[in-house]
Amino acid sequence: MSSSITRLLFVDDEGPIRRLFRRGVDQDESVLLETASDGKEALRKLKTFHADIVIADMKMPEMGGLSLLEEIRIRYPDIFVVILTAYGSIEDAVKVMKAGAYDYILKPFDFDVIRMVIEKITGQKRILEKSIFPGKERRKGYRFENIIGQDPKMFEIFQKIIDVADTNATVLITGESGTGKELIDEAIHFRSPRRSEPLIKVNCAAITETLINSELFGHEKGAFTGATAQKRGHFELADRGTIFLDEIGDIPLRTQISLLRVLESKTFQRVGGTKTLKVDTRIICATNKDLSDAVKEKLFREDLFYRINVVPIHMPPLRERKSDISLLANHFLRKYCTETKKNILGISRAATNILYRYDWLGNVRELSNIIENAVIFCKGRELIPANLPEEMRKTTQKKGFTLVLSSRSLPLAEATMIHKVLEETSWNLKQAAKELDIARGTLYSKMKKYGIEKL
């Protein structure tokens, strides 16, 4: 998205509403507007009109907003989609947000609300444009440092990173395992005045209780059995830089006392030493535990909790930022295709739908692993459901489908069922014919008869 012009596609089947919208937006010179009468026309226009934002009505006869959203998240995952839905239709609002919409606006809409949403998106895109993008990723407009996302929750995190980076404030990053908490500490460090100094990462859960003080603060020669030489700890190595304490909730209580001292006085002593050392280190912590509960259970010091929780940043689980699934999946697809020297062009509609319906208890890390595995074993030009784990396919499998018909016409029912099966099989004629229990030639003839074709 250009910092000055926002390319907006408005989709509504009612001509008067499209004209009303154009009159309301045309006064804004920062918006380049195009309109479409339904989802199918919108998809045709998107081939040449490279929209930044699509605002679409939920209910349209040819192709509604939800179906259009599903197509856009597959074909153009970096477009922000906002859905217009009837006033009071909370069920529809929940549905579109779960399907990956950036936001929804209730009808009849107010232009002040429309402008607020547009300004919110363009403002957030400007945040990304000011970031440091590797290579050609800059033009994609959804990558902040090494963090990929366009969900509103992610933009709140991006803004926090920008605000806190130039300070020395201690940051506590919370979130489930696999959400990418370690990427936040990198973004803060490399945006800070300390960027040219070391960033030392410590996995506190991986160090035994007997060794953690030595690892963090170093030890003197002879401090304990096996200490044959003086050793500098992680805090000394991070002097003038940043130390990232991952899984800080696993630090034993006796080490918490020493850590509190560093936070309060910037001083410490090596294990077995008497000399007080001073250090200038920015501290960033992360945990997948609820430290407030740990404080109540006397497993974590309350005074330490308040010292590290100066700037809290919560990384949401992937299931709460579904609009980012296509972005992430396609990013990992490109990454692993490069590594394996494969030329896989994309992810099929059916496979993408499975990714959206899955709960992702392992979060972004699990998505990365699944795409890597799929790329390794994929034999075709796109990832299909068969490339995904069987257990994932089972847990997201729909138990058949319901045909919603405008009449009792038998040909219409047949055409609708054929179209539905073709969509679910990513337009694989062989697989669709098998699902319908008809010959492939028969399927092709019926597609010609009913004018069924892939958009």
| Whether the predicted pLDDT of 316 surpasses 50 | yes
Which CATH number does 6-129 carry?
Answer: 3.40.50.2300
Q: What value does the mean pLDDT of the chain take?
A: 87
> Could you tell me the sign of the dihedral formed by the alpha carbons of 249, 254, 256, 262, in that order?
negative
Q: Which residues share a beta bridge with 136? A: none
Largest CA distance in the chain: 90
As a whole number, mean pLDDT of residues 128-145 equals: 49
| pLDDT category of residue 268 using cuts at 50, 70 and 90 | very high
Distance CA(99)–CA(61), nearest Å, equals 20
As a whole number, mean pLDDT of residues 269-297 equals: 93
Measure the CA dihedral 398/400/406/411, to 10°. 140
Distance CA(83)–CA(73), nearest Å, equals 13
Of 146, 242, 152, the closest CA to residue 192 belongs to 242
As a whole number, mean pLDDT of residues 198-220 equals: 93
| pLDDT category of residue 134 using cuts at 50, 70 and 90 | very low
| Whether the predicted pLDDT of 453 surpasses 70 | yes
More confident residue, 272 or 87: 272
| pLDDT category of residue 441 using cuts at 50, 70 and 90 | confident
Considering 118-122, 125-129, 242-246, 408-412, the range whose residues carry the highest mean pLDDT is 242-246
Per DSSP, which regions of 205-289 are E strands?
Answer: 242-246, 267-268, 277-278, 282-287
Q: How many CA atoms lie within 13 A of 267 on its CB side?
A: 6
- What six digits make up the tokens of 144? 């902040």
Q: Is 166 helix (H, G, I), strand (E, B) or coil?
A: coil
As a whole number, mean pLDDT of residues 408-420 equals: 75
User: Quick one: angle between helices 363-377 and 325-340, nearest 10?
Assistant: 40
More confident residue, 289 or 61: 289
As a whole number, mean pLDDT of residues 8-18 equals: 94
- According to DSSP H, which parts of 14-151 are helical? 15-25, 39-46, 65-75, 90-98, 111-129
| Whether the predicted pLDDT of 33 surpasses 80 | yes
As a whole number, mean pLDDT of residues 166-194 equals: 94
Q: Using a CB cutoff of 8 Å and minimum separation of 24, what contacts does 31-37 make?
A: 31/5, 31/6, 31/118, 32/5, 32/6, 32/7, 32/8, 33/8, 33/9, 34/7, 34/8, 34/9, 34/10, 35/9, 35/10, 35/11, 36/9, 36/10, 36/11, 37/11, 37/12, 37/13, 37/62
| Whether the predicted pLDDT of 140 surpasses 90 | no
Distance CA(68)–CA(13), nearest Å, equals 13
Give me the pLDDT at residue 455, please.
Answer: 62
| Residue 185 contacts residue 284 (beta carbons within 8 Å) | yes
Per-residue pLDDT tens digits for 235-247: 999 999 999 999 9
Share of the chain above pLDDT 70, in %: 91
Considering 26-35, 60-69, 360-369, the range whose residues carry the highest mean pLDDT is 360-369
| Whether the predicted pLDDT of 148 surpasses 70 | yes
CATH topology of domain 319-396: Helicase, Ruva Protein; domain 3 (1.10.8)
| pLDDT category of residue 89 using cuts at 50, 70 and 90 | low
| pLDDT category of residue 429 using cuts at 50, 70 and 90 | confident
As a whole number, mean pLDDT of residues 222-245 equals: 91
Give me the pLDDT at residue 260, please.
Answer: 94
- Are domains 6-129 and 319-396 of this chain identical in fold? no
| Residue 66 contacts residue 99 (beta carbons within 8 Å) | yes
Of 66, 141, 125, 50, the closest CA to residue 100 belongs to 66
Distance CA(270)–CA(233), nearest Å, equals 8
| pLDDT category of residue 210 using cuts at 50, 70 and 90 | confident
Of 174, 180, 103, 194, the closest CA to residue 144 belongs to 180
Give me the pLDDT at residue 92, please.
Answer: 73
Give me the pLDDT at residue 454, please.
Answer: 73
As a whole number, mean pLDDT of residues 415-442 equals: 81
Per-residue pLDDT tens digits for 323-371: 899 889 999 999 999 999 999 999 998 899 899 889 899 999 999 999 9
The whole-model pTM stands at 0.73
| pLDDT category of residue 87 using cuts at 50, 70 and 90 | low
Per DSSP, which regions of 121-169 are E strands?
Answer: 143-144, 147-148
What's the Cα-to-Cα distance from 143 to each of 66, 125, 135, 286, rounded to whole Å? Answer: 25, 10, 11, 22
Distance CA(350)–CA(384), nearest Å, equals 7
As a whole number, mean pLDDT of residues 202-212 equals: 92
For the chain, what are the domain ranges?
Answer: 6-129, 152-314, 319-396, 410-450
CATH topology of domain 152-314: Rossmann fold (3.40.50)
User: How does strand 103-107 pair with strand 143-144?
Assistant: unpaired
* Angle, CA 286 vertex, CA 280 and CA 164 arms, to 5°: 55
What's 410-450's CATH class? mainly alpha
Whose structure tokens read 């153009």?
76
Distance CA(442)–CA(425), nearest Å, equals 17
Give me the pLDDT at residue 62, please.
Answer: 80
Give me the pLDDT at residue 341, please.
Answer: 94
